[in-house]
């Protein structure tokens, strides 16, 4: 007999404004307890140092978390030039320090331009990336360093917001898998002075922005778990930028059985949101357009 999950069957997405000083998993556990929810997961870790947008997927929304993991991100960061730390951020011990006061804004701007576009990064030993099943940061804390292969990432834009002595502030729009601490270290190396992240905030993750985010304190103040549900965004919002198709009840039945269907005036390629047309559109899941034009369901929400 299958074990019954504890908690309420809550479905939707909560955009949390993560505070500094706790891990993303800590946020997940607090949200799960506040909502009394059966199942909650995050969509990409933020370091304890970092704050900002952390979308949490509840229940059926966890089926679509991968699409948020794959989405681009936008960050604000403050970088301290001239000081290198063991971890690449302000939480690590200082390992090197030089005078960076002679660095000019023009030098920073010119160096920053070289990082825009497709680049390669070597993940930090203090990242959550796993090696043989172990997160790198756990190995690093044991004094173990392993070879890391460079990873190709894309910096779509890197805007210099402020330059003041040895501190710079950037707004970075980047692809999944980009490490801002690695960017800070590489930028510092390019300037010949080293550097580290002194502050980091995620401004957006995929379709979600900080204007939609709520703090755990705001959630807690509501008190009633069912009233908290009003804070949840629809499961479909995870793929809200995708084209959509709407099916009549009979066609929707076949999709629920996992069968491809022909849909008039549907997109000719790519992935789509699938809705059942009724008095109120019901989100069924996502599908892929096949070469013959039919739409094949790929990931569906559970039926009521």
234-263, pLDDT tens digit by residue?
999 999 999 999 999 999 999 999 999 999
3-class secondary-structure state, position 31: helix
Model confidence band, residue 6 (pLDDT cutoffs 50, 70, 90): confident
Who wins on pLDDT, 127 or 301? 301
pLDDT in tens, 211-236: 999 999 999 999 888 899 999 999 99
Phi/psi-derived region of residue 198, left when phi > 0, alpha when psi is between -120 and 50, beta in every other case: alpha
pLDDT at 182 over 90: yes
Q: Is 47 a catalytic residue?
A: yes
pLDDT in tens, 76-91: 999 999 999 998 999 8
CB 71 within 8 A of CB 205: yes
Residue 153, both tokens:
């990432």
pLDDT at 1 (0 to 100): 47
pLDDT in tens, 120-147: 998 777 777 777 777 777 777 777 778 7
| Other beta carbons within 10 Å of 104 | 10
In the set 17, 26, 47, 229, the catalytic residue is 47
Query: Regarding beta strands 51-58 and 195-205, do their DSSP bridges make them parallel or antiparallel, or are they unpaired?
Result: parallel
Query: Residue 19: what are its φ and ψ, rounded to 5°?
Result: -80, 165
CB 72 within 8 A of CB 202: no
pLDDT in tens, 19-67: 999 989 999 999 999 999 999 998 888 888 899 999 999 999 999 999 9
pTM of the model: 0.91
Place of tokens 């074990």: 3
pLDDT at 303 over 80: no
Q: Please state, rounded to an integer, the average pLDDT across all residues of the chain.
A: 92
pLDDT at 279 (0 to 100): 64
pLDDT at 211 (0 to 100): 97
Nearest to 44 by CA among 28, 59, 32, 60: 28
């Amino acid at each position: 007999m299958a074990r019954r999950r504890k908690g309420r069957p809550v479905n939707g997405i909560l955009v949390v404004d993560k505070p500094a000083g706790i891990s993303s998993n800590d946020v997940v556990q607090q949200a799960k307890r506040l909502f009394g929810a059966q199942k909650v997961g995050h969509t990409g870790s933020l370091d304890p140092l970092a704050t900002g947008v952390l979308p949490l997927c509840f229940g059926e929304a966890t089926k679509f978390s991968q699409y948020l993991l794959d989405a681009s991100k936008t960050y604000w960061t403050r970088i301290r030039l001239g000081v290198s730390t063991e971890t690449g951020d302000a939480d690590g011990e200082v390992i090197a320090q030089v005078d960076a006061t002679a660095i000019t804004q023009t030098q920073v701007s010119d160096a920053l331009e070289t990082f825009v576009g497709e680049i390669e990064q070597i993940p930090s030993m203090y990242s959550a990336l796993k090696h043989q099943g172990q997160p790198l940061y756990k190995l690093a804390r044991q004094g173990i360093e392993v070879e890391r292969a460079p990873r190709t990432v894309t910096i779509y834009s890197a805007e210099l917001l402020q330059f003041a002595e040895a501190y710079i502030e950037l707004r970075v729009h980047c692809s999944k898998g980009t490490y801002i601490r690695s960017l800070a270290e590489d930028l510092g190396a390019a300037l010949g002075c080293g550097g580290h992240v002194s502050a980091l905030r995620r401004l957006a993750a995929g379709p979600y922005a900080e204007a939609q985010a709520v703090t755990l304190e705001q959630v807690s103040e509501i008190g009633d778990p069912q009233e908290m549900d009003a804070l949840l965004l629809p499961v479909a919002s995870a793929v809200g930028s995708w084209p959509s198709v709407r099916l009549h009840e009979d066609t929707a039945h076949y999709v629920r059985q996992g069968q491809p269907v022909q849909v008039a005036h549907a997109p000719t390629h790519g992935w789509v949101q699938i809705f059942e047309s009724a008095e109120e559109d019901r989100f069924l899941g996502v599908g892929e357009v096949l070469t013959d034009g039919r739409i094949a369901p790929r990931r569906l929400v559970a039926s009521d």
